[in-house]
Structure 1
Amino acid sequence: MSSSFNRRFALVRVAGATAALACGLLFSGSALAADMPQYSIKTSMGEIVVELDQEKAPKTVANFAAYAKSGAYNGTIFHRVIEGFMIQGGGMNEKFEGRKTLKPIKNESNNGLSNQPYTISMAREDNPDSATSQWFINVADNSGIDFPFVGGSGYTVFGKVVKGQETVDKIKAVVVDDVRGMQNVPVVPIKITSVTLLKGDKLVK
């Protein structure tokens, strides 16, 4: 085998290894991005972008993604707003009609994430494993509802707002009243027009 052939073969091997390394880095980066998907929540008061922590709350993120993909959140409202606490949506339309929900999910509140301002968490009933489609965005330090809270389970944080904090601030300050036996309902409905997964150059850096 000639020395020139050996040199060419070595170069091919180095180039192949470099390409493989680059490919590995690309896949690694994609995997990291996939662990933190971003969703655009477009509302009648502006856009909110949330980044979800798939590593620490995999079941909760998958649940949110399923509702978003099906369009279940489109046309819903923020039906509960408590300034100094949170803004809640994802469950009903302007007529206060509920949407068909998926099976309740396992509580993942023991994941190290805290209910801090601009984090997104799952709403639920007294049963820790009762969360379905509804979620809320914290507008204050609500670490008092973190794991273990009451009965050994808290409210599951599964992401944070990375864009549109000013929209959250506008929503938390709206006038609310009691409507049809429900408290803290915005007098002027705040509509959620769409919830969509962001990709490529749409992602918030």
Structure 2
Amino acid sequence: MRKISLLFGALLLACLLVLPCGAQAQGGPNPVVIFETTLGRFIVMLYPGEAPATVENFMRYVDEGFYDGTLFHRVVTDKDFRQKSLAGGNPIPYNIIQGGGFEMGMRLKQTHPPIPNESSRAMSNKQGTIAMARGTAPDSATAQFFINVKDNPAFDYRDQKDPRDETKIISHPGYTAFGKVIRGWDVVEAISRVETSRMGQHENVPVKPVFIIKAYRPQ
């Protein structure tokens, strides 16, 4: 009886590690990606049920080896916003580590065409989630991603009434969160604590480069 209980417990643990919450489990195990970095390893689980085009796009880059050798080129924390506030600014605070687009020397890699923004159906940008970075245009994400070191609600999709006409609704596209860190959170935190500076036109660049050695699916 004890052996049966132990076996059941092991199977349950395995399911929790590889299956998503809710109905997505019916479609099989969620994709998992391992990131080997210069500061250690972390693992993310992806949620195609909530952001199918985004996950497909991300896995394409992973399978091509695109992320291997790319930098975590941007680290933004509360400290940066305190400094800007003291300088007279009033920025919206957020905490992220961003990577997946630049090689050593801040050389931008060529990418595939941008993808549709799925933030209206995706999960919230809570602490530990991975999301796609993008430009000003909502549908401009390509390969760069970021990990939310803290809850960043300002990055979520939202609808609000038009202040000039309350019968109208204005939609604000967000940043599509499509997975979460399930192992190695200490590594993410270590990256978030590195010293940063300005490099040319780029702000918040780690002084000592932190890069992805390899990003891959587990065998």
- Specify the code of the residue in structure 1 equivalent to 2:72: F
**RMSD between aligned residues:** 1.7
Which aligned pairs between 1:113-152 and structure 2 lie closer than 5 A? 113-148=123-158, 152=172
Aligned to 1:41: 35
The residue matched to 2:214 in structure 1 has which SS?
strand
The residue matched to 2:146 in structure 1 has which SS?
strand
User: In 2, distance between residues paired with 1:91 and 1:185?
Assistant: 13
Aligned to 2:178: 158
Which aligned pairs between 1:1-205 and structure 2 lie closer than 5 A? 31-33=27-29, 36-84=30-78, 85-148=95-158, 152-199=172-219
Q: Pick the structure with more strand per residue.
A: 2
Identity %: 40
Query: How many residues are paired up?
Result: 170
Deviation at 1:83, TM superposition (A): 2.1
Deviations 1:83-103 (A, max 9, x none): 241000000111111111011
5+ residue gaps, structure 2, are 1-23, 79-94, 160-169
- Specify the code of the residue in structure 2 equivalent to 1:32: G
How high is the TM-score relative to the length of structure 2? 0.74
5+ residue gaps, structure 1, are 1-27, 200-205
User: In 1, distance between residues paired with 2:121 and 2:185?
Assistant: 24
How high is the TM-score relative to the length of structure 1? 0.79
Deviation at 1:180, TM superposition (A): 1.4
Inter-CA distance 101–181: structure 2 relative to 1 (3 Å threshold): same
Larger radius of gyration: 1
